[in-house]
Structure 1
Amino acid sequence: MVEGLLRDRASALPVPGARTAQYREIVLSAPDGGRTDGAQRFTVSADLAVRIDGYDEQPVVYPRRLEVARAGDGWSIEREERAGGPPPLWDLGTVRTASGAHCRILALDAVPGLMAVMAAMTAFGDRAVASVSEVWGSAWPGRVLFELPATQAQFAQLMESDPASWTGMAAVTVAAPGAPGHAPADRVVVNPDTYGKLSDFGRQVVITHETTHVATRADTRAWTPLWLSEGVADWTAYRDCGRTPQQIAPELTRDVAAGRLPTALPADRAFAAGAEGISQAYEQSWLACALIARRHGPDKLVSFYRAVGAEDGQGEDRDHRTDRLLRAELGLGLAEFTRLWRDEVAALAAS
């Protein structure tokens, strides 16, 4: 009975593009610990597993709690709520979809100017996939799924955090809930408030940056320094854009002009949402990766990144590992690389 009820509910879920949606790992509980076979009302705990056609190789899992009550000769689901983790987008409103050649947009229909926004985003997404593949090759799936809520508050719900902490952050790449680490099921969740304030150039940069994170997921590990993972994403996004370093790194340029120079590559904490100086951290990271690409070539930047993310990094001191791999891949250690990078930073004030 319960399985049939949940099967019918799953088939009616408003999930555009879903290949399958099913409840699994079903656990029943009656009030006060009573027997469910004689109860008039009981609770169902279950995992809702959803796969978006063409994008998810593994189901995305949302823990749910449902209240089931007798209705005449049958049963009905009176209430459903999440039981942990971020909500699915369709919990926040009606979802619309648009598809490009290499991307799909899931957006709430309350987004102002929705059709034009989705059309532009699919164009940005398709260009991003092509640009990223030129650098990182074709080993990744070559497709990206974007989720667009209508407000920053909804964006924060999807991030499970305080809305204020995401002010100024245009998008975030997150692993699909419940997917195994190797599955290419990343979502790019877009912050509509910040994204909406950007120029078309800025939006393309954001979409390409996040697409780079999707493409490099298999080469990114917990021990990969954020200055490197964020730096390669920005370097890929700005590659061949024709802008000067001062235009790409305006906040850092102003700091340098005021005599404020960094002494070390940015630590991971510098990239936390809401962190003071987060713009400078991203710009410093871009400059570090641009330095590698210019002096040693883009292929060396890619090979260095992949070497850092290799499987044998668990337990090794991060700075020691970075130093060792810099020497192996580029022929210079961390101290020398940092010195060269600081020279690049200082040069921002030269023009």
Structure 2
Amino acid sequence: MLAERARGLPERTGLPVAEAAYRNLVLAAGGAPDRATAAADLAVRIAGYDDHPVVYPRRIELVRAAGGWRVEREEGTSGPPALWDLGATRSASGAHCLVLGLADGPDPAGLVAVGDRAVAAVGAVWGDARPGRLLLELTATEAQFARLLEGDPTAWADMAAVTVAAPGAPVRTPADRVLVNPEAYGRLSEFGRQVVVTHEATHVATRADTRAWTPLWLSEGIADWTAYRDCGRTPQQIAPELTRDVAAGKLPAELPADRDFAAGATGIAQAYEQSWLACELIARRYGPQRLVAFYRAVGADDGPGEDRDRRTDRLLRGELGIGLAEFTRLWLDGVTALKDRG
């Protein structure tokens, strides 16, 4: 019965599901003789995009009917809900991206061209070894976007998109999704939308090179650097909040800390701009290939227990020939120069 229900998931959702199965089924004891409750993991793989199934823990209420048992209700029990838990779904595909949306929300086809351009821009930096595909989920409301993130809607109000590693896949090769906030994304210009999606596509492409000890100033900075690469805009246009701070005499003392990127954090815009400037410094001074090499070196290094700043200092010296203190000084010089650069 559950096997048949799993096979019917593509028809019920309208999504390109390549694989669906209920695993680890556990029936709850007790209850009325014509009713039962089960716990199971629903494993779903989207065709052409997921190397491994995404796992959704489910609670299933069963009722005995004339023809046997049938599912009366199914709901998620932990972790984020599946997109189809939020309503009827629809999808649109491009050459390198797939957009999953809700029937009562924005047309997912509107994201296809943006997604395809993002994949191309990321491939130009990270090469053919990077996954040339992108899966985006577009909700109908900001509240639904927050539900997929299991967060407070107010904290995510200004975030246009977020990349998440869907549960159940191996740590090093997760099934990534780019979740798009329809309200914040809708307020952006066409250029801004492209930057946001390319930024998130970079996170997808660099997942295997990103580790828990990768500083967020580096991972967020390189995503912005990839997104803004060759855009033809001035540093002041790319970093307007930081430029205003510099003009007012408000300068940072050090590279952004991880906490500065938390949703709703004060000065989060400046943290992203400062991080972009740090990666732009490496690319401009040493070349884009050295920036990519440094990022990969940070992810490949497995120095367990080593202090993060000490590790960053060691890898900067190995890849660029300068330590963290000297790099920070050069970066601060670049921040200060924003008032003069065109």
For this structure pair, what is the TM-score category when the shorter chain's length is used for normalisation? over 0.9
| Offset, 1:184 | 4.8
Counterpart of 1:316 in structure 2 is: 306
**CA separation in 2, counterparts of 1:15 and 1:21?**
13
**CA separation in 1, counterparts of 2:98 and 2:60?**
30
Return the letter of the residue paired with 2:53: P
| Offset, 1:94 | 1.1
Counterpart of 2:76 in structure 1 is: 82
**CA separation in 1, counterparts of 2:257 and 2:332?**
15
For residues 80-107 of structure 1, what are the alpha-carbon distances to aligned partners after superposition, in whole Å with 9 as ceiling and x for unaligned?
1111000010111111111110000001
| Alpha carbons 1:170, 1:195 under 8 Å: kept | yes
Counterpart of 1:44 in structure 2 is: 38
**CA separation in 2, counterparts of 1:183 and 1:15?**
26
**CA separation in 1, counterparts of 2:150 and 2:97?**
25
Return the letter of the residue paired with 2:33: A
For residues 198-240 of structure 1, what are the alpha-carbon distances to aligned partners after superposition, in whole Å with 9 as ceiling and x for unaligned?
0000000001000000110000000000000000000000000
| Alpha carbons 2:80, 2:150 under 8 Å: kept | yes
1:304 aligns with one of 294, 298, 308: 294
| Offset, 1:73 | 4.5
1:242 is aligned to 2:221: no
| Offset, 1:72 | 2.7
**CA separation in 1, counterparts of 2:138 and 2:6?**
28
**CA separation in 2, counterparts of 1:309 and 1:302?**
11
**CA separation in 2, counterparts of 1:123 and 1:135?**
19
Return the letter of the residue paired with 2:59: R
1:93 is aligned to 2:83: no
Q: Which runs of 4+ in 1 moved over 6 A?
A: none
1:280 is aligned to 2:270: yes
1:192 is aligned to 2:182: yes
Return the letter of the residue paired with 1:16: L
**CA separation in 2, counterparts of 1:13 and 1:334?**
54
1:60 is aligned to 2:54: yes
Instruction: Flag structure 1 segments of 5+ consecutive residues without an equivalent.
Output: 33-37
| Alpha carbons 1:223, 1:313 under 8 Å: kept | no
Counterpart of 1:22 in structure 2 is: 21
For residues 99-139 of structure 1, what are the alpha-carbon distances to aligned partners after superposition, in whole Å with 9 as ceiling and x for unaligned?
11000000112124x1xxx3331111111111111111111
Instruction: Flag structure 2 segments of 5+ consecutive residues without an equivalent.
Output: none
| Alpha carbons 2:91, 2:109 under 8 Å: kept | no
- Alpha-carbon distance change, 192 to 3 in structure 1, aligned in 2, over 3 angstroms: closer
1:226 aligns with one of 193, 209, 216: 216
1:104 is aligned to 2:94: no
* Aligned-residue identity in percent: 68
**CA separation in 2, counterparts of 1:22 and 1:15?**
17
1:69 is aligned to 2:63: yes
Return the letter of the residue paired with 1:326: L
Counterpart of 1:336 in structure 2 is: 326
| Alpha carbons 1:223, 1:314 under 8 Å: kept | no
- Alpha-carbon distance change, 252 to 19 in structure 1, aligned in 2, over 3 angstroms: same
| Alpha carbons 1:184, 1:214 under 8 Å: kept | no
| Offset, 1:314 | 2.6
Secondary structure of the 2:23 match is strand
Return the letter of the residue paired with 2:17: A
| Offset, 1:74 | 1.8
- TM-score normalised to the size of structure 1? 0.94
Return the letter of the residue paired with 1:22: A
**CA separation in 2, counterparts of 1:188 and 1:3?**
29
Return the letter of the residue paired with 2:61: E
Counterpart of 1:271 in structure 2 is: 261
- TM-score normalised to the size of structure 2? 0.96
- Alpha-carbon distance change, 326 to 52 in structure 1, aligned in 2, over 3 angstroms: same
For residues 182-210 of structure 1, what are the alpha-carbon distances to aligned partners after superposition, in whole Å with 9 as ceiling and x for unaligned?
22521000011110000000000001000
**CA separation in 2, counterparts of 1:39 and 1:192?**
46
Deviates more, 1:170-179 or 1:285-294: 170-179
For residues 140-170 of structure 1, what are the alpha-carbon distances to aligned partners after superposition, in whole Å with 9 as ceiling and x for unaligned?
2210000000110000000001000002111
